[in-house]
Structure 1
């Protein structure tokens, strides 16, 4: 009987020894890959997977969802920090109820030695309390004494599904003084990302930019993830990541290697502040770590 299974793309496709794109950019690319951060989802087996596959020098961010609330995100960031990782929880402003709730969150994180956070507005239809957006939460964190040394904010090279482009970029300019870095959403078009980075730099946002790239994840893994985050959350996830899913069903699928190649000429350029990679692992940590180490091994041998 003929199999109907679609072969997976070569997601771990390693770079070859004769990468012409790397000429003159090797050192910047090595720094970007060596200092890459990983985004993880707070599922039951995540902690064990991190401990098994991720070295301590890889910074982590822990996502949050409306369905599960901030609790699992904070708890995982605390546990990973106690293991010695630099773990940054996503603080979704619309899930923070009030000052007392924020104070409790900050106290939990500081007690565990967490020094960094990633502040987002969040996808909740209605705010749970007094923080309707990321800016309001950032301002309040400043008012209570700048409790974190590293504060990330989101960047949107392809815009935001629910906010007009001019407003989202204005919001970025307003948030930038309260932050230390920008982490972009996934974008598969390198030119779009680079042009966006140049634009925000020209508008005065001088923060280093970590470019969001997909890790070495299979489509089966994405299906399992969306099945595990709840029907409503899955629908929103699929809507936001439809570009990712579409890529999986094109001939050859996608490889993070190809996107890295296209971004490489712009890494470290003074007109865009592209400073590194933020890898959306979708918890496919072993494959993603192997892919990154293959890149670094090739570069070290060049």
Structure 2
């Protein structure tokens, strides 16, 4: 690895957080056909989350999940309550994934304030009887390190508690995967708090992958990421830093320094806004550099 590549990694402290199959990535279903990472960049058995967007044919997600599974990865389709026009549409999608042996899913409320169907919350999806006879036995739910722009903190905590209780009642393994943020200290505090309140809970921390500052800001505003945008903007000064690709090393290092000995399982989940190729190439180099630092100690 050359010096320029090392500088790009910007990983001064090293991280003890999980790599290998514990690292996951998010794709749109239409990206699955072109998804072909090298095993040294993204290990077989790793999770691939697949988005569920209003207006997109759900057959795209069904086909993508099956393709990802046949490639040797673990597909995790998003199921967004507010995107279903009827409860039967939700049942049909769960059953289609079950026929294909899909065992994990992310349960979301969804974003639209106005929506056509009867369901608005992830808890309604989790409580639906269709899951009892489905192949889905691992349920991811959403976490928000810097809060939610439309939901107060107490309500967020109550909603998470309720979803975890539903999962326990239905013998579903519950995991939390977070929205991305740009303040490593804030993310570390959030993960520590979750582990303190919910012993043994697996937490998958969302990080924006390698992309330009302008793209990061645009996606952050689209996704409702707010307070930590100031930290991202402060880290950029000068024209080069604005146009150059950013990577999550600095955020990851700050988080690791803030929360160096996790009280429960803590993993990494990447949103590859600049393309999965860039993010997974960076991840491979970051892993290599981290291991070399460990071997030098």
TM-score range, shorter chain: 0.7 to 0.9
Q: Structure 2 length as normaliser, TM-score?
A: 0.78
Q: Output the CA distance in 1 between the equivalents of 2:158 and 2:56.
A: 30
Q: Confirm whether residue 125 of structure 1 aligns to residue 113 of structure 2.
A: yes
Q: Output the CA distance in 2 between the equivalents of 1:48 and 1:11.
A: 31
- The verdict on how the C-alpha distance between 1:143 and 1:260 changes in structure 2, with shifts beyond 3 A counting, is closer
Q: Output the CA distance in 2 between the equivalents of 1:161 and 1:138.
A: 23
Q: What SS is found at the alignment partner of 2:78?
A: strand
Report the count of equivalent residues: 271
Match of 2:278? 287
- The verdict on how the C-alpha distance between 1:237 and 1:71 changes in structure 2, with shifts beyond 3 A counting, is farther
Match of 1:209? 203
Q: Which runs of 5+ in 1 are unaligned?
A: 1-9, 227-233
Match of 2:170? none
Q: Confirm whether residue 257 of structure 1 aligns to residue 245 of structure 2.
A: no
- The verdict on how the C-alpha distance between 1:269 and 1:83 changes in structure 2, with shifts beyond 3 A counting, is closer
Match of 1:76? 64
Once superposed, what is the RMSD of the aligned Cα atoms? 3.1
Q: Structure 1 length as normaliser, TM-score?
A: 0.77
Which of structures 1 and 2 has the larger relative contact order (alpha carbons within 8 angstroms, sep 6+)?
1
- The verdict on how the C-alpha distance between 1:103 and 1:256 changes in structure 2, with shifts beyond 3 A counting, is same
Instruction: Deviation per CA, 1:201-249: give whole Å up to 9, x if none.
Output: 34346411111011112357669xx8xxxxxxx8x96262466699369
Q: Output the CA distance in 1 between the equivalents of 2:89 and 2:48.
A: 23
Q: What SS is found at the alignment partner of 1:119?
A: strand
Q: Output the CA distance in 1 between the equivalents of 2:200 and 2:6.
A: 33
Question: How many angstroms does 1:72 deviate by?
Answer: 3.1
**Alpha carbons 2:210, 2:247 under 8 Å: kept:** yes
Q: Output the CA distance in 2 between the equivalents of 1:269 and 1:52.
A: 29
Q: Output the CA distance in 1 between the equivalents of 2:109 and 2:126.
A: 10
Q: Output the CA distance in 1 between the equivalents of 2:250 and 2:231.
A: 16
Deviates further, 109-118 or 152-161: 109-118
